[in-house]
Chains A and B, each alone.
Chain A
Amino acid sequence: MRKARTLLSVYLAYMLEYRAELFLWALAGALPLILMGVWTEAARGGEFPLSPGEFARYFLMVFLVRQATVVWVVWEFERDVVEGRLSFRLLRPLDPFFDHLAAHIAERLARLPFVVLLTLLFFALFPEARFLPEPGAFLLGLGLTLLAFLLRYTMQYATAMLTFWTERATSVEEVFFLLYLFLSGTIAPLEVFPEPLRGLALLTPFPYLVYLPAALLAGQKVALFPGLWVMLLWGVGFLLLSRLLWRLGLRRYSGQGA
């Protein structure tokens, strides 16, 4: 427990060194807020499953969920391997999986004030996005946001393990990111997807990274099952995959001369 606390407090100090960058990163995640403008305008004119107010709320929650689930471990890991710093991590009696995880959680705490500030600003700009959430669904949404973060982390960690073979795992991540952008509900809520695509998307891990928690938080009526099972299945799958790749990769790394 002390281990986790110290890790968090040191990484928090580290992240606070980069306040300005953090603010810019938070701002860079404002894409959903731009899309919010586009979709609410569109909803005023045409027939859509969501009202302009619902669209606004949904995209606000997309913004928040994405802020809460930012993961960059693949870039960090690639740098570690390329620059040979992985050796230092291997000399410590702590699995880098947890080391990086602690850094991510600390960053989240450091980012929080900026996110609150941006949210207040957007409440001022888009009054239709203001709403009083239902406590039950909202709490459930928060829990799912946490799960979404863990899923995204394990997915990207598994991708990061490819660094052992290609040293360009970030390119693989960028391909994933494209899929993520379209299938996660970042660009449009899944309600507006045409049916076969929507069903297909729900079988991939992506909607559970953004859409499901955001829709719950926004108070939309969404079915929790079987989505939650699909999400957990992907989570466990990626966790096992990342552990397997870690073992194989390590063998290769030490085989190549660390």
Chain B
Amino acid sequence: MAGASPIVVAEDLTRHYRVALKEDSLLGTLRHFLRRRYQTIRAVEGVSFRILPGEVVGFLGPNGAGKTTTLKMLTGLVHPTRGKALVAGHVPWRREKAFLRKITLVMGNKQQLIWDLPAMDSFRLNAAIYEIPEGEFRKRVGELAEMLSLEKKLHQPVRKLSLGERMKAELLAALLHRPEVLFLDEPTLGLDVNAQVAVREFIREYNRRYGATVLLTSHYMADIAALSERVLVIHQGRLLYDGALEGLLARFAPYREVRLTLGSPLPQEALLPFGEVRALEGREARLLVPRERLTERVAEILKRLPVEDLEVREPPLEEVIAKVFQSPLPVEEA
């Protein structure tokens, strides 16, 4: 793909919000009524990146980091305070019809399907809105339903579907017009492991089959690890990292995880000298140990603790990310 021009461009993308402050006391309410004080939330601050056609990029960050706001700017729902964006050749917030036909946004916490009707009716509605010819519509529904193993569920009212089936149907509805760029905001939110894997597999297959570009946020690192080679890490509205997933571990995880099986249960204090205790349950313990002191610490552990088994591995991605994101959102008074 070298030399291909990017399909998503964000340059210095910035979004500030002004929110009214209110104390919870009665006096606070009165004061709020008389003279409002505002604060500026810097939801997104000078974010720049480029995504090539066909790439699957994971977007990581804690709640409130600015992921959703960025997606909303790229899909044209939110105007930026400053900065530029170009998606599939369009400025998103102009919301031109040609642009809307090329993109889709799936939000795991919101649904577009009509609750009381079979999903098929919502699909027909979308087909009409996107002007998909009848034959093509049937073909696409058949294809996508097969990829999602959803064939038998299309004629049941959406409210009768399980959460996983509903998410699959949401994806089908969102992809019927065969968008070039997919923005997926927590598509696996609340799903059980099987459904998560199914949705993940589907996204991978969709990307492979149609060459669509995917920008996806997820709380489940497994989603990101399985789908994207490249990740963007956003924290407090700023882009902290843009690159390969492995590079993220090397840069932000100067730790190793040591897993212990002890001969007898020990109190947490007994483990503290050897590293940060991430978990302790009966005779099982997990410690985070700085990489450069690993050998020395392991030797000490083996010498001083009743160890039955010891294992060293890369810490889970979740904990790496959690370590990166440990300070609150910057807020300034106006």
Q: Within 8 Å of chain A (Cβ to Cβ): is B191?
A: no
- Could you mark each residue 62-92 of chain B with 1 if its beta carbon is under 8 Å from any beta carbon of chain A, else 0? 0000000100100111110000000000000
Q: Which of B75, B78, B126 has the most CB of A within 10 A?
A: B78
Residues of A within 8 A of B72 (CB): 87, 257-258
Which residue of B has the minimal Cβ distance to A86? B77
Min CB distance B311 to A, Å, is: 45
Q: Within 8 Å of chain B (Cβ to Cβ): is A46?
A: no
Q: Which of A3, A91, A254 has the most CB of B within 10 A?
A: A91
A3 to B129, CA, bound (A): 6
> Are the C-beta atoms of B17 and A90 separated by less than 8 Å?
no
**Number of A residues contacting the other chain (C-beta, 8 Å)?**
26
- Could you mark each residue 104-135 of chain B with 1 if its beta carbon is under 8 Å from any beta carbon of chain A, else 0? 11010010101011000110111111110000
> Are the C-beta atoms of B127 and A6 separated by less than 8 Å?
yes
Residues of A within 8 A of B110 (CB): 84-85, 87-88
Q: Within 8 Å of chain B (Cβ to Cβ): is A221?
A: no
> Are the C-beta atoms of B100 and A2 separated by less than 8 Å?
no
> Are the C-beta atoms of A13 and B100 separated by less than 8 Å?
no
Q: Within 8 Å of chain A (Cβ to Cβ): is B95?
A: yes
Which residue of A has the minimal Cβ distance to B122? A10
> Are the C-beta atoms of A91 and B117 separated by less than 8 Å?
no
> Are the C-beta atoms of B125 and A10 separated by less than 8 Å?
yes
Min CB distance A230 to B, Å, is: 36
A17-B117, A88-B112 known; A258 vs B125 contact (CB < 8 Å):
no
Q: Within 8 Å of chain A (Cβ to Cβ): is B241?
A: no
A3-B129, A3-B131, A87-B110 known; A93 vs B124 contact (CB < 8 Å):
no
A6-B128, A257-B17 known; A90 vs B76 contact (CB < 8 Å):
yes
Q: Could you say which of B15, B78, B100 contacts A91, with CB atoms under 8 Å apart?
A: B100
> Are the C-beta atoms of B77 and A6 separated by less than 8 Å?
no
A10 to B43, CA, bound (A): 39
> Are the C-beta atoms of B78 and A93 separated by less than 8 Å?
no
A51 to B293, CA, bound (A): 102
Which residue of B has the minimal Cβ distance to A7? B128
Residues of B within 8 A of A3 (CB): 128-129, 131
Q: Within 8 Å of chain A (Cβ to Cβ): is B22?
A: no
Q: Could you say which of B107, B114, B116, B129 contacts A94, with CB atoms under 8 Å apart?
A: B129
Residues of B within 8 A of A251 (CB): 79
Q: Within 8 Å of chain A (Cβ to Cβ): is B101?
A: yes
**Number of B residues contacting the other chain (C-beta, 8 Å)?**
34
- Could you mark each residue 55-66 of chain B with 1 if its beta carbon is under 8 Å from any beta carbon of chain A, else 0? 000000000000
Overall SS of chain B's interface: mixed
> Are the C-beta atoms of A256 and B100 separated by less than 8 Å?
no
- Could you mark each residue 1-26 of chain A with 1 if its beta carbon is under 8 Å from any beta carbon of chain B, else 0? 01101110110011001100000000
Which residue of B has the minimal Cβ distance to A92? B129
Residues of A within 8 A of B131 (CB): 2-3
Q: Within 8 Å of chain B (Cβ to Cβ): is A45?
A: no
Residues of A within 8 A of B75 (CB): 91
A88 to B106, CA, bound (A): 9
Which residue of B has the minimal Cβ distance to A11? B125
A20 to B116, CA, bound (A): 14
Q: Within 8 Å of chain B (Cβ to Cβ): is A127?
A: no
Q: Within 8 Å of chain B (Cβ to Cβ): is A135?
A: no
Q: Within 8 Å of chain A (Cβ to Cβ): is B93?
A: yes
Within 8 A of B (CB), among A82-136: 84-85, 87-88, 90-94
A175 to B116, CA, bound (A): 32
A256 to B16, CA, bound (A): 9
A92 to B122, CA, bound (A): 13
Min CB distance B100 to A, Å, is: 4
> Are the C-beta atoms of A93 and B17 separated by less than 8 Å?
no
Min CB distance A48 to B, Å, is: 47
Min CB distance B262 to A, Å, is: 49
> Are the C-beta atoms of A90 and B116 separated by less than 8 Å?
no
Q: Within 8 Å of chain A (Cβ to Cβ): is B97?
A: yes
> Are the C-beta atoms of A254 and B93 separated by less than 8 Å?
yes
Within 8 A of A (CB), among B25-48: 43
Residues of A within 8 A of B130 (CB): 92-93
A257 to B129, CA, bound (A): 25
Q: Within 8 Å of chain B (Cβ to Cβ): is A255?
A: yes
> Are the C-beta atoms of B101 and A14 separated by less than 8 Å?
no
Residues of A within 8 A of B101 (CB): 93
Which residue of B has the minimal Cβ distance to A88? B112
A32 to B76, CA, bound (A): 47
Min CB distance A227 to B, Å, is: 38
Instruction: Taking A90-B95, A254-B78 as given, write out 4 further A-B residue pairs in contact, using a Cβ cutoff of 8 Å, ordered by the A residue number.
Output: A6-B128, A91-B76, A91-B105, A257-B17
Q: Which residues of B contact A (CB under 8 A)?
A: 15, 17, 43, 69, 72, 75-79, 93, 95, 97, 100-101, 103-105, 107, 110, 112, 114, 116-117, 121-122, 124-131
